């Protein structure tokens, strides 16, 4: 059974489809006013169970050093279209979000956070 669901990518909603055992990776990166950023996400549909796994990271560097957030989530295929409606910041964008429902992701293990200067200070 294929998995079809919405993801937020490059500023808009995109619907992707995964076949059992298939993985899809997306990364965006670039400069910021004070350094750089990188956001990476991988989605994998398990070959032997109806579950999509998502692994993500948000990393960067600025005047406060390197920092990052990392996590793993999962969602049963039956819950891919049962999450929350997206936040709409501008009413002119409402038409672009009609019918978009995010997956009901559930955390898989602990999320991690890295802060270069906090680690150097012993936190």
Digit-coded pLDDT (tens) for 57-79: 999 998 888 889 999 999 999 99
- What per-residue confidence (pLDDT) applies to 90? 60
Q: Are 24 and 34 in contact (CB under 8 A)?
A: no
Does the pLDDT at position 51 exceed 90? yes
Torsion of CA 63, 110, 29, 46, to 10 degrees: 170
Q: What is the mean pLDDT of the chain?
A: 87
pLDDT for 97 equals 73
Q: What is the pTM of this model?
A: 0.83
Other beta carbons within 10 Å of 103: 23
Rounded percentage of the chain residues whose pLDDT exceeds 70: 88
Average pLDDT on 71-99 reads: 76
Question: What are the tokens at 94?
Answer: 């409402």
Rounded to a whole number of angstroms, the distance between the first and last alpha carbons of the chain is 45
- The pLDDT value given to residue 70: 96
- Residue 116: is its pLDDT beyond 80? no
Of the two residues 3 and 83, the one the predictor is more confident about is 3
Q: State mean pLDDT over 75-94.
A: 74
pLDDT (mean) for 10-16: 86
pLDDT at 75: 96
């Amino acid at each position: 059974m294929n998995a079809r669901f919405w993801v937020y990518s490059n500023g808009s909603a995109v619907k992707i489809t995964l076949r059992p055992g298939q993985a899809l990776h997306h990364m965006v990166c670039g400069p910021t006013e004070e350094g750089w950023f990188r956001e990476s996400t991988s989605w994998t549909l398990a070959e032997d169970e109806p579950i999509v796994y998502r692994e993500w990271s948000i990393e960067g560097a600025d005047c406060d050093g390197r920092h990052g957030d990392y996590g793993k989530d999962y969602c049963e295929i039956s819950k891919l279209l049962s999450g929350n409606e997206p936040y709409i910041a501008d009413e002119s964008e409402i038409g672009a979000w009609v019918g978009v429902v995010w997956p009901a992701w559930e955390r898989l293990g602990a999320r991690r956070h890295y802060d270069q200067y906090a680690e150097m200070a012993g936190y």
